A and B are shown apart, each in its own frame.
Chain A
């Protein structure tokens, strides 16, 4: 695991009246326990990975309360787990990244929403939209409308978020409907505090078990019950939810003196709105606004009475709704039309952009336009222009693999092979390995979702004269690649090459455990990827050590050229370097502190041999392999150099060997706490000794 949450786990124990300080996403975990949740599940992914990570580190507290925690194989499994709340009065919560996770979960969510729930069911969504997002830009809102699931979007402020978790469970129970809580990236990471309550041990739990199952045909998602369930959604659950939202005042009205104006915003955008009003001199530092604000902490369902009440006396109302399409704006317009309120002018996507994140600047610009105060944004625009002018000469700096990453060598091997065989189509997958699409590799033509690489290659392959390649991580393999990709290819008797990056963890999300993580497969040989492949009927499997670039290239070439028809799988092995360093560093530190001798390998470039053509860099992209001025006064081009930070993976040397580059790389052993013998030898060899 990337991070240890010892400190955060302690906060989960806070009792009545104590103060919780910290990140919002961690406040959610505490709020779950305060709500008497019986089981929690989910799938890792920013910005909500920490929910699961913290709870996994807090097993003893949870065991004490009788709360069950499960690391689901994917979001579909997590959503299905909420099925426990259909028949039993148990509260359950799951967390995943959205919209991707909600996509994967959507079938189980449809069935869950149709059946309805007895115990409150809360789905914590990390709404990964806008700047900093790593996925396709869509809104989770559509799922709420599709399945009639309620959607909370609290003001990014810890007490409000905690309250909405608690109220969310009650809303869920009052309307027999699952509830989603969407938290944007910034909301997840906002820091603050709230007054904690004591944790509640759930009524039904691991310590207080169910004796008898509940059989109710009306709760099974099969016809004819499904027809009745659909009617119930509209006739019973929806009105119940609207009633609950009104009675509990989940949405907030902030009054202001400009009664002819109003801003209606998604709760999650409230901070940006109030900041913009402050900048325009229409709000003070304590959040008192001159323009009335209707803040939707529940963005679905809307409460038509509240909307008409807010808009009735106003001339102009601005809707601040992030992303497309403008669901809320349309619903508000329809509500106003139905109520025959034609006097109010509704602005929204005409002054704010349809697509993209509503950052402070964007909201400020929109509100300024709404209030005809365009001049207020001029200074910002000037500043931006100046910055753009200054930055224009600098090349883009795309993300790349970590220093010593075991996935980089595989792409080096592919690049070596490309030179030999020409370019081939590569279907990429979700994971660190997707960095291959960026310079210096530019390998990878499409990405169609987590675990879907091989499936996305299935119509490409038959259209090509030569073989195509798919790359998939072990994370994607267990998420759904084994069924959607491998089973699919074996079943259809397709040809193809699959490279599985076996780095041992779900690494891009923070090295969470997988079924084939070393702690499972190497120690106990419990769940093995290779045996699963064999069991499913893959006839051609090769294992390679990623750092042996020449070997990897040879195996890839063999897969390209073999007469074997059918799926060819190359398991590319190399444990995540971050995880290795995490294990190694404390040991080295301890050894050094104890004065023990330690040897660290580091690579370097002999500057006299370096030809200065930098092929080695174009085959690697390692952040520690860079250039410096040529020390030779007769040569002008910079030479390659390995800077500090090198972890000694050896890729640069391997590449030089496999691609027959100039023989300028050397391997050095840095000896710390040298013995007298080391010192003696060093005198002879001139080895640098620290």
Chain B
């Protein structure tokens, strides 16, 4: 695991009236326990990985409370897990990254929402939208509409977030409906504090077990016809009104009054902080959050409460709806409410703000300025305009300064075991031409960037082999699919491998077996190397110690299966070329082994530090370039892209081109040398052993060898 949460786990135990300090997403973990949650599950992914990471690491404490924790193999599993709350009064929570996770979970969620729940269910969504978002830019809101599930979007402030977790469970129970809580990237990472309450041991738990299924067999809890027809009617006739009543009675949405009574702003709770900063910039709010324009902050964005909307709009001249992303679900719903209630206030929204993309403070200041210019000419927006032009000036001068710099795409870590595979693929492509490469989600999709530029499409987690199914039969060269071990277990095994076998497809699949779900923080997988093997391997790769992937593939009936050691570029290239050219018709799988370098370094570093502090001898391998031999053509860089392999001025006064060099940070994986060898580049790489705390023998040897 990337991070240890020892301190955070301590704060899970806080009692009544104590203060929790920390990140927004960790406040959620505490709020779950305060709500008496019975079980927690989920699938890792920024910005909510930490929720599950903390829970998994806090297993001992959760066992005391009787809370069951599960690291699910996909979001679909996690959503299905919530099925436990359909028949039993057990509260459950799951978490994942959205939109992608909610996509994967969609089917189970449909069934869950149709059956309805007895125990409260909360789905904590990391809304990975806008700047910093790594996934397709879509809104989770659509799923709320589709399945009639409720969607909370709390103001990014720990007390509100924690309160909404607690109210969320109650809302879920009051309306028999699963509740989603969306937390944007910034909301997950906002820091603050809130006053805690003591944890509630769940009524149904691993310590207080059920003795049997419901006494009476209740067919209506099954999402199967004819119950489904009744359930659909229940959704709109019973559950929706119950939810609206709960939201109103408990004042989940907040109205902040202001002096400009003819104006108003309706804002998604999650955008509230940005809005206040924008208003402050415009001189319309003070540092304590008091705004001159009345604000309706929607901590619940679905369902809306028509009475609340019309009450806020009545007697106003114009109202601006601030709703991030597309399409404008909330604005349309408000337009409908106003038309039905015959409220005449002018409605603004996407006419003042952009449709697609993040609503950062700059965008909000621009939008508010437009809104005010049309509806409140008496309010000066001068301070906003001058701030905006200052921002513009800074941007322009930054652009001028940066104009000449090349793009700097993200890439593999130093010593990453996945880089050598792309080196090998690049070498083979030189030889037999470039194939179509279907990419998957994971670190290996950096292979799409320079210097490899391999990877033509990306269709979702575990979907690479499936996405090659339409390309392969149409290509004269075999199409290649790359998949991580994370994607393999997430769904690639079935949607990719089993489908290919059923259809007797040709094609090449490279499985990157680095041992973990690494891009999300090296969470464990079914095929992670066993703990003891990792301890033995220390700085070396332990990925080979588990064979579940290979066994499963063989079990499924994959006949052409090779395992390679990634760092042996020549070997990888040979096997890859064989797969591309083999007469064997059918799926060819290459399991590319090499444990995540970060995980290896995490094990190695404390050991080395310990040794060094004890004064023990330690040998570190580092690679370097002999600057006299280096031809300066930089082929080695184009085959690697390792951050530690770069250029420096040529020390030879007669040569002008810069030479390659290996900077500090090299972890000695040896790829540069392997590449030079496999691609027959100039023989300028050398391997050095850096000896720390040398023995007298090392010193003597060194003296004897070095010219004095």
Contacts and interface: CB of A to CB of B under 8 A. Distances in A.
A72 B499 contact: yes
Contact of B221 (A235, A329, A354, A446): A446
Interface string A436-453: 011000101111111010
A613 interface: no
Given A41-B470, A327-B145, A334-B335, A80 B73 contact: no
A532 B473 contact: no
A180 B147 CA distance: 19
From B326, B470, B551, residue with most partner A Cβ within 10 Å:
B470
Interface string B213-234: 1100101011111001101110
B509 interface: no
B253 interface: no
A491 B41 CA distance: 13
Interface stretch (A19-27, A157-165, A203-211, A635-643): A203-211
A360 interface: no
Contact of A104 (B107, B471, B502): B107
A463 B210 contact: yes
A457 B92 CA distance: 13
Contacts of B107: 100, 103-104, 449-450, 452
Interface string B233-245: 1011100000000
Given A68-B473, A142-B142, A330-B332, A222 B114 contact: no
Contacts of A87: 436, 456-457
Given A209-B474, A487-B526, A81 B466 contact: yes
Given A459-B84, A463-B206, A536 B474 contact: no
Contacts of A70: 469-470, 499, 503, 505
A674 interface: no
| Most B Cβ at <10 Å: residue of A138, A204, A327, A483 | A483
Nearest to B234: A355
Contacts of B222: 428, 437, 444-447
Interface in B7-63: 38-39, 41
Interface string B435-474: 1111100000100100001011111110100111111011
A78 B510 CA distance: 21
Contact of B233 (A80, A355, A457): A355
A351 B38 CA distance: 44
Interface string A100-144: 101110111111111100000000000000000111111100110
B135 interface: yes
A135 B469 contact: no
A365 B139 CA distance: 36
Interface in A525-540: 525-528, 531-537
Interface in A227-247: 227, 229-231, 233-235
Given A142-B143, A531-B555, A226 B135 contact: yes
A210 B476 contact: yes
Interface string A473-504: 00000111011110110111010000000000
Contact of A138 (B112, B147, B498): B147
A423 interface: yes
Interface in A303-340: 324-325, 327, 329-331, 333-334, 336-337
Given A80-B460, A324-B235, A452 B80 contact: yes
Contacts of B627: none
A485 B493 CA distance: 13
Interface string B346-363: 010000000111000000
Q: Which of A81, A425, A463, A513 has the most chain B CB atoms inside 10 A of its CB?
A: A463
A293 interface: no
Given A110-B136, A537-B548, A73 B494 contact: yes
Nearest to A90: B474
A437 B222 CA distance: 8
B320 interface: no
A49 interface: no
Contact of B555 (A110, A112, A444, A528): A528
Contact of B111 (A134, A448, A528): A448
A484 B73 contact: yes
A175 interface: no
A526 B586 CA distance: 12
B204 interface: yes
Interface in B128-164: 133-139, 142-143, 145-148
A206 B506 CA distance: 13
B501 to A, nearest CB: 5
B635 interface: no
Given A85-B470, A137-B231, A445 B111 contact: no
B68 A463 contact: yes
B83 A459 contact: yes
A645 interface: no
B470 A81 contact: yes
Give the bracket for the number of chain B residues in contact with chain A.
Answer: 35 or more
Interface stretch (A213-221, A548-556, A569-577, A618-626): A213-221
A185 to B, nearest CB: 12
Given A87-B456, A114-B136, A484-B73, A464 B555 contact: no
B665 interface: no
Nearest to B215: A423
Contacts of B229: 137, 356
A80 B463 contact: yes
Given A106-B106, A455-B108, A39 B326 contact: no
A355 B228 CA distance: 11
A418 B222 CA distance: 20
A449 B335 contact: no
B555 A532 contact: yes
B642 interface: no
A214 B482 CA distance: 17
Given A221-B136, A448-B111, A458 B81 contact: yes
B219 A437 contact: yes
Interface string A63-74: 000001011111
B531 interface: no
A690 B435 CA distance: 67
Nearest to B219: A437
B209 A464 contact: yes
B70 A514 contact: no
A143 B142 contact: yes
Contacts of A463: 38-39, 68, 84, 88, 90, 204-206, 209-210
A76 interface: yes
Interface stretch (A145-153, A595-603, A681-689): A145-153
B458 to A, nearest CB: 5
B103 interface: yes
Contact of B476 (A137, A209, A438): A209
A269 to B, nearest CB: 17
A393 interface: no
Interface string A649-678: 000000000000000000000000000000
24 contacts: A73-B466, A74-B494, A77-B494, A83-B459, A110-B460, A113-B136, A136-B111, A142-B142, A147-B136, A148-B326, A437-B222, A448-B79, A448-B111, A456-B108, A458-B70, A459-B85, A462-B39, A483-B73, A491-B71, A513-B502, A515-B501, A527-B557, A528-B557, A536-B548
Interface of A: 38-39, 41, 68, 70-74, 76-88, 90, 92, 99-100, 102-104, 106-115, 133-139, 142-143, 145-148, 204-206, 209-217, 219-223, 226-227, 229-231, 233-235, 324-325, 327, 329-331, 333-334, 336-337, 346, 354-356, 422-428, 434, 437-438, 442, 444-450, 452, 455-460, 462-466, 478-480, 482-485, 487-488, 490-492, 494, 513-515, 520, 525-528, 531-537
Given A448-B111, A527-B501, 15 more contacts: A76-B466, A83-B471, A102-B106, A111-B459, A113-B136, A145-B145, A214-B456, A356-B233, A428-B222, A449-B110, A458-B84, A459-B70, A483-B490, A532-B552, A536-B548
Closest 9 CB pairs of A and B: A535-B555, A84-B470, A146-B142, A73-B499, A142-B146, A83-B467, A456-B83, A459-B84, A531-B555
